Structure formats: C-alpha cells, structure tokens
Amino acid sequence: MAKSPEIDVKSGLLFAGSSLLDWSLHPRESFARWLAGEVVAQRRQFRASSADTYTHQFETWLRFLEARHSSLLEATQDDAEAYFNQLSLKHVSRRRTHKEGIEAVSRRRYLQLIDRVYRALRQLGWDGANPMLLELKKERGLAVPEPASLTDEEVDRLWRAIKLLDGWKGDRDRAMAALLLGAGLRCNELLAMPWSAVGPDYRVRILPAGVHREHVSIILPGQARGFWELWERDRHDMGVRSEVAFPATRAGRPYTESGVFRRIDTWLRMANIHRKEDRGVNLLRNTFARQALLRYSPEEVQEFLGHEELRSTVRHGLTEPD
C-alpha cells in the first residue's frame, strides 16, 4: 500500500512525492499534490471550480515554458514578462478566449498563483531566482477597478424609498436591507440567518454558508439598526412565525435567492437607481464594505465580510497593503 503523503499544515506543503526532483520531472502531478495540501491545510477555502481554475492557470505557464524549450525550475524573469505580455494580448480561459486582453484582476490571480508555487519551491530548498519578482513590482501599478457600489446619495434615496413599503413585508424588507446594505451579508447567509444571530451590540454571527468561513459582521450605525430593531420587536404582533429571520410568508415559508434578488430590484426601481449590471446582493454588499472602511480598520472590515485575504477587502476604497 502506498504511503500517504505527510502534510505540513503550517506551510501547506506535501513532502512525500513533492521533492524538487518531483517538481522538475513531474510538475503537473506535483502541482496537484501541492494544491491538495493547500486545501487540507485550509490556507484558502477552494471551490472545486476554483481548484480547476488554478490548475488551468498553472498549465498555461507550463505550456508557455515548454514552447520556449524551458521548464518550471529554469524559468527567468524574461520568461515571466513575455508570458504576461502574451496574456495581455490574448487571455486564454477554460471556457472562451478574450481578444480584448486580460483584466488587471485576472492578471493578478495568475501572478499570485505562480508566485506561490515558486515560494513553495524555495521552502523545498530550490535556490533559483523567483521569475515573478519583476512582475510583482509591476503589480503595484495595476489599475484594479473598485467594485461597483452605491454612492452616498443613492444610499440615502434607497433608505427613503424602502421607508414607503407598508405592512409586515415592508418591515421585513427594511430589516433585510439592514443586513444586506447595513451589514454586508451574502445572499445565502441572509437566507439561513436565525433570529439569534444579531446580538444587543449589533454584532451579527454568520455561520458557514457554502465554502465561506464563520465570521462576525456588524450592522452599521444609522437607519439600518433602527429597521432591524423594529422588525425584531414587532414580528410576533404581525403574526410572523419563523425560525429564520426573513421568511417569505408569515407562516415561515423560506425565502429563495431569486426572491431576494427580485426584492432588491424593486427597491432600486423605487429609488430610481438604474444599473445595467451589479444590481443584486453584491451591489449592496460592496456598498457596505466601502462605508465600513470609513469607520473601521481594514482588518476589522475583512472579518465583517468574511474575506480570506485583506486584498479583497481594501479594493473597496483604500490603498492596498504591502
């Protein structure tokens, strides 16, 4: 029986079968083992589709090197520069080809992955120069677009518009907005949220949903807190019987994701906010992130959003960290 590879949980490296010789002779198989080690060590939470994407990105780098009669451990900074120049002209995707060029965010993801591989190789004793160093320096100059969010004026219009909703559904919708726009919840987190998730200090305990980790957010000071308090206080008098905080009916029938998106569309139309794209939950979540960064540190907002990396957080309005 083959011996199971040992995993160094701190580094995420698989040592059995992942020596420098293995990486030299069998880079694809070694990468697959390394990627599996990243998952087991929980350095990042991968969806299956994300692992496929990383494998594809690494494969494009290997094929590029092979076409230049080079290899993973022989790659130079010139190779890396030529590789990313090629991607800028023709972005190869698993599903389609983009002739308009690779976006800054996509370029960054390719660069981060390959750089992580070379850092892992150095931990195994490789003494070569990381070919990604020059591209990493260029990385700081990339213009990465800030995620789409509502302006402060649009936020005011949205709050005014949803105040006009009447009945128990109006109170529910205002409380939903308090958690989406006021606390940055994802749609699946909102749907699964129990009443007990919000504490007296307005901290929101968010249990794992899908691949995302457990984390704690906060309802921002202002109207959002008042809307949540009203819904929490009056729901019983309105005949709402449900274990989850936001049912679709008084009897407790659960809401669906499509139902939530339809409600958000209604709110935006009422507020006369017209967006061709980014109209759903992410628009409200991005707005929360932007506003939260004005009150709290990037590290605190990272926890509020449940982000794995601080880079994902600071894109919402602050200069990226070193």
In tens, the pLDDT along 39-71 reads 544 444 445 556 788 888 899 999 999 999 999
Distance CA 154, CA 137 (A): 37
In DSSP terms, 7 is beta-bridged to: 14
Domain boundaries, the chain: 7-139, 152-314
In tens, the pLDDT along 164-222 reads 999 999 999 999 999 999 999 999 999 989 999 999 999 999 987 667 889 999 999 99
Q: 204 in helix, strand or coil?
A: strand
Running DSSP on this structure, what letter comes out for residue 164? Answer: T
Give the up-direction half-sphere exposure of residue 261: CA atoms within 13 A in the CB hemisphere: 9
Region of 128 please: left (phi>0), alpha (psi -120 to 50) or beta.
beta
- Among 93-97, 128-132, 164-168, 278-282, the range scoring the smallest mean pLDDT is 93-97
CATH class of 152-314: mainly alpha
Residue pointed to by tokens 């995707």: 93
Where residue 10 falls among pLDDT bands split at 50, 70, 90? very low
Nearest alpha carbon to residue 151 among 285, 282, 290: 290
Q: How big is the CA angle at 47 (ends 43 and 49), to the nearest 5 degrees?
A: 130
Nearest alpha carbon to residue 203 among 222, 186, 234, 179: 179
CB-CB contact of 161 with 296 (8 Å): no
**Would the pLDDT of 103 be above 70?**
no
**Would the pLDDT of 96 be above 80?**
no
Distance CA 93, CA 96 (A): 5
**Structure-model confidence comparison of residues 318 and 187, the more confident one:** 187
Residue pointed to by tokens 């691949």: 211
Q: Which long-range contacts (CB under 8 A, 24 or more apart) does 184-188 make?
A: 184/217, 184/284, 184/285, 184/288, 184/289, 184/292, 184/304, 184/305, 185/217, 185/285, 186/212, 186/281, 186/285, 186/306, 187/257, 187/260, 187/261, 187/280, 187/281, 188/257
Q: Could you count the other beta carbons within 10 Å of the beta carbon of residue 10?
A: 8
Question: What per-residue confidence (pLDDT) applies to 148?
Answer: 87
Average pLDDT, the chain: 81
Where residue 7 falls among pLDDT bands split at 50, 70, 90? very low
CB-CB contact of 246 with 190 (8 Å): yes
